Amino acid sequence: MVLDLTASSVDLTRAICDIPSVSGDEQTLADAIEEAISAYPHLEVIRHGNTIVARTNLGRAQRVAIAGHIDTVPINGNVPTRDVEIDGVPHLWGRGTVDMKSGTAVQLKLAAELAEPSVDITWMWYDNEEVEASKNGLALLAAVRPDLFQADFAILGEPSNGQVEGGCNGTMRAIVRTTGVRAHAARAWIGENAIHRAAPILARLAEYRAREVPVEGLLYRESMSAVRITGGVAGNVIPDACEVEVNYRFAPSKSAADAEAHIRNLLAGFDVEITDAAEGARPGLDAPIAQEFVAAVGAEPRPKYGWTDVARFSALGIPAVNYGPGDPHLAHHDEERVPLAQIDAVERGLRAWLSSR
């Protein structure tokens, strides 16, 4: 598979979306990106696993890191892409068009074309963003090459409707368990049904009301949801175990310890195991370079409700924002689609800022 980085951002989006790259299966796309970007002599190219880094070394006064993930959630009949019109507006439909291959396509095109940017740039395209943090390609790279993360500002190409979304909520997953006693379903009263015992867990989650938390001028909205439930032995057996997986999205003013305490308090009386956690990121919009960027692209700062890898840069003291085409509400949706004009607009915004500072 050969990628043409001289193609338009729209055509490049189409090309990389049509290369399936569900989390854990990114090698074909990573190989194509490495081959394509290695043709440009103004870039130093480094590969770690299926993460590709390309950077300029021009001795500029400032360096900006610009990153995008190359994996998607599972495909569900929405690859290959196709062109559609929604209310007369041309869109590209298909898995990854929003989250976040359109943003990645813009980055690839600009990385190839901007041989003399006004700042040094470290471009990063990484794998396994959509799964647990322990597999995240950006995190694995940081563990072995922290020097690659030196920057004054960072931009993640996550979908933001072409606006700037500051920081991000944190995310935490927990398994909540109930136990019982097996018995024949014809004599259910002999056993104790672990699935039935999960009813109070579900009731508490259903009654949970999202909190809105102001952080540095942006209003973040939290949520707590059951995302999976497992249990059962056979069609004629009372189950003796049940697990409810819970996902908590918490404001960046909270630490992971705060989030864990909140989950345990809500689900007091049950066996709770925290299985994954990633802290959020404060907006970072008070940094002068961030303010220059927002002004240059003409965007309106908003909060990012989902977790993104801006948190990794924020943890290093680097202000970071999300800026990419696509409606975040359509991320992971089976009708995932992005307006063509939005892809072009984000390309123009980034190009102008990186060329004129």
Residue at a domain's end among 252, 278, 304: 278
**What's the gap between Cα 146 and its chain centre?**
21
Note the pLDDT of residue 79: 97
Instruction: Report how far apart, in Å, the C-alpha atoms of 234 and of each of 96, 178, 237 are.
Output: 38, 17, 5
Q: Does position 75 have pLDDT exceeding 70, yes or no? A: yes
Q: Cα–Cα distance between 214 and 171 in angstroms, integer?
A: 17
pLDDT of res. 357:
63
Verify that 339 and 227 share a domain, yes or no: no
> Can you tell me the distance from the alpha carbon of 277 to that of 173, in angstroms, rounded to the nearest whole number?
6
Domain stops at, among 255, 278, 301: 278
Let me know whether 198 and 335 are in one domain.
no
130 neighbors 26 (Cβ within 8 angstroms): no
Asked if residue 123 and residue 211 are part of one domain, the reply reads: no
**Range of 196's domain?**
170-278
The answer as to whether 1 is a domain residue is no
Q: What are the φ/ψ torsions at residue 94 (nearest 5 degrees)?
A: 145, 165
158 and 293 co-located in one domain: yes
* Strand duo 63-69 + 153-156: pairing: parallel
Strands 164-166 and 302-303: parallel
Provide the whole-model pTM. Answer: 0.86
pLDDT tens digits, 247-301: 999 999 999 999 999 999 999 999 999 999 989 999 989 889 999 999 999 888 9
Q: Smallest Cα–Cα separation from 169: which of 321, 263, 316, 303? A: 303
Q: Which spans in 114-232 are helix H?
A: 137-144, 199-207
Give yes or no: residues 62 and 157 share one domain: yes
213, 286: one domain: no
- Domain end residue (candidates: 229, 247, 278): 278
> Taking the alpha carbons of 10, 21, 5, 352 in that order, is the dihedral positive or negative?
positive
Is 4 inside any structural domain? no
Q: Specify the CATH number for the domain of residue 244.
A: 3.30.70.360
Answer whether 96's CB lies under 8 Å from 74's CB. Answer: no
One DSSP character per residue, 34-52 reads HHHHTT-TT-EEEEETTEE
- The active-site residue out of 26, 34, 71, 279 is 71
Per the prediction, the chain carries an average pLDDT of 96
Beta carbons of 239 and 232 less than 8 angstroms apart: yes
| DSSP 8-state class, residue 134 | G
Same domain, 159 and 32: yes
**What is the three-class DSSP state of 166?**
strand
CA 82 to chain centre: 23
Residues 6+ apart with CB under 8 A from 209: none
User: What CA–CA distance (Å, rounded) separates 326 from 344?
Assistant: 11
Tens digits of residue pLDDT in 148-173 = 999 999 999 999 999 999 999 999 99
The answer to whether residue 235 sits within a structural domain is: yes
Residue 245: DSSP 8-state: E
Tokens of 13: 């989006």
pLDDT at 194 over 80: yes
Q: Are residues 184 and 307 in the same domain?
A: no
> In which residue are the tokens 């892809």 written?
343
The structure tokens listed for 304 are 């990012």
Regarding predicted confidence, which is higher, 296 or 69?
69
Residue 270 located in a structural domain: yes
**Residue 299 confidence (pLDDT):** 84
With 90 as the cut, is the pLDDT of residue 1 above it? Answer: no
Lowest mean pLDDT among 54-68, 183-197, 256-270, 295-309: 295-309
**Is residue 339 included in any domain, yes or no?**
yes
Known active-site residue 129: yes
Give the per-residue pLDDT at 164.
95
Do residues 63 and 152 make contact, with C-beta atoms less than 8 angstroms apart?
yes
pLDDT value of position 111: 98
Do the Cβ atoms of 293 and 262 come closer than 8 Å? no
Q: Output the domain CATH number for residue 48.
A: 3.40.630.10
**From 34, 129, 222, 240, the catalytic residue:** 129
- Answer yes or no: 71 catalytic: yes
In total, the chain counts a number of residues equal to 357
Q: Does one domain contain both 294 and 209? A: no
Task: Dig out the tokens for 286 from the structure.
Answer: 């008070």
User: How is residue 73 written in tokens?
Assistant: 């959630």
Domain count, the chain: 2
* Residues 250 and 342 occupy one common structural domain: no
The tokens for 261 are 């305490």
**How many CB atoms are located within 10 Å of the residue 8 CB?**
15
Q: What is the share, in percent, of the chain residues with pLDDT greater than 90?
A: 92
Kindly state whether residues 37 and 145 are assigned to the same domain.
yes
My answer on whether 17 and 163 are in the same domain is: yes
Residue 151 confidence (pLDDT) = 97
- Alpha-carbon distance of 219 to 120, in angstroms, equals 32
